Amino acid sequence: MTTREPRRRRAVRRAAAVIAAGAAITGAAAFPPPAHAFAPPGCGDHSATRGALHRITDVDGLTGAAVRIDDPRCGTWTAASGVADRRTGLPMQANPRVRVGSITKSFTAVTVLQLAAQGRVSLDAPVARYLPGLIDANGYDGRTITVRSLLRHTSGLPDHMDSFKSTDEFRFEHFEPEQLVRRALRLPDPGKGWHYSTTNYVVAGLIVEKVTGHRLEDEVERRIIRPLGLRDTYWPGDETGIRGAHPRGYERVERDGTVRWADRTDMNISVGWAGGALISTPRDVNAFFGALLGGRLLPAGTLAEMEQAVSTGPDGLWPGAAYGLGLIGTPLRCGGTWWGHAGDIDGFTTLAGVAPGGRRVTIAFNENPTTQAAFDDELNLVETGLCDPRGTEKP
């Protein structure tokens, strides 16, 4: 349910010495040919993106990686590297169905913003207007926290995910949203300024339900998933598996100098709910962000508010990142700003964005990056996909 923080800091510290151990199986998938043999002039063959993709598995040692590029002029290009299943050696597919973690936050934010555009929610109203008494413990006060601050992670609420010592504490448990909020309110005050908290989006989801009288899942389905034809995107509820064909999801673990890969595919993701429960594919994620940034889901003025972002700071997401209302903006090395989101949950990592010209890129891994080099290469893959073949990429 996190993006790059605080998993990035914890994982880099604990796993810096083990990355080379994963190289044994990453050559299982050969370099795939371009998806389109005859691209329009100027579209290139995506060789830089292909090289950046294979670096993830061949150098960083992650189990599998996939990338999808949708370009208004050049069409669709996909590629994959590594394996989907370490036991069988099945090659990674280019459009894997995976847990997309915190990308769910963008779906929830759009739902809240649609309600705001309809005049049913005020972004600058206190949470207590909609959910009186929900946030009223340990010095936290819903009368001083606005809906806008929830979506921007400036509410001052802790993250309930920090209340768990390990994945095993929640992996096969069902949680009601109110339980998650109560867990968060028992945690210390994270301080002023920007602080990433999945609890913010649990509260936002509860506001959607209070205002509409419907389940958040049904509102997202009705407002986003069905209209956009996102056929592989769904809320799993208490289902612990992933429907249909999908890769296995792995967490790299080192104990007593031995590296192993724990299979984290199966999980009850009610612990993430409005902030991290969705399952989707690169195709669907690209379609969602393309529709959002293309003005199909929100009025222009509301989308502009979504893009009013604050810096996440030196210990936040990644260099240059700024957080809006469920949307992350980052300077793009070939010019302008790319907007999107990242999702990270044990076993799966997804990162997606849209460049100023409308090119969309989604990458999906079935193992979480655990070193600074792997994180950097993850970001490089997205930026290369958004810039390639403009000639400014650094594969």
Integer-rounded Cα radius of gyration of the chain: 20
Residues 267/273/275/281 CA torsion (nearest 10 deg): 60
Dist CA 315 CA 371 (whole Å): 15
For the question of residue 102 being annotated catalytic, the response is: yes
Those residues with Cβ within 8 angstroms of residue 302's Cβ, 6 or more apart along the chain or in another chain: 113, 114, 116, 117
Q: Which residue has the tokens 């946030």?
A: 135
User: What residues pair up with 2 in beta bridges, in sequence order?
Assistant: 344
Set 47, 81, 102, 280: catalytic member: 102
DSSP 336: S
Nearest alpha carbon to residue 39 among 68, 67, 77: 77
Which DSSP state fits 158?
Answer: P
Q: Determine how many CB atoms are found less than 10 A away from the CB of residue 309.
A: 19
Task: Name the region of 216 (left: φ>0; alpha: ψ -120 to 50; beta: rest).
Answer: alpha
The string of DSSP letters for 50-110 reads HHHHHHHHHTS--SEEEEEEEETTTEEEEEEEEBS-TTT-PBPPSS--EE-TTHHHHHHHH
Q: How many residues does the chain have?
A: 395
CA distance 208 to 310: 24
Candidates 367, 355, 363, 366; CA nearest to 392 is: 355
Strands (E), 187-321: 250-255, 258-263, 279-280, 310-311
Contacts of 165 (CB under 8 A, 6+ apart): none
Active site residues: 102
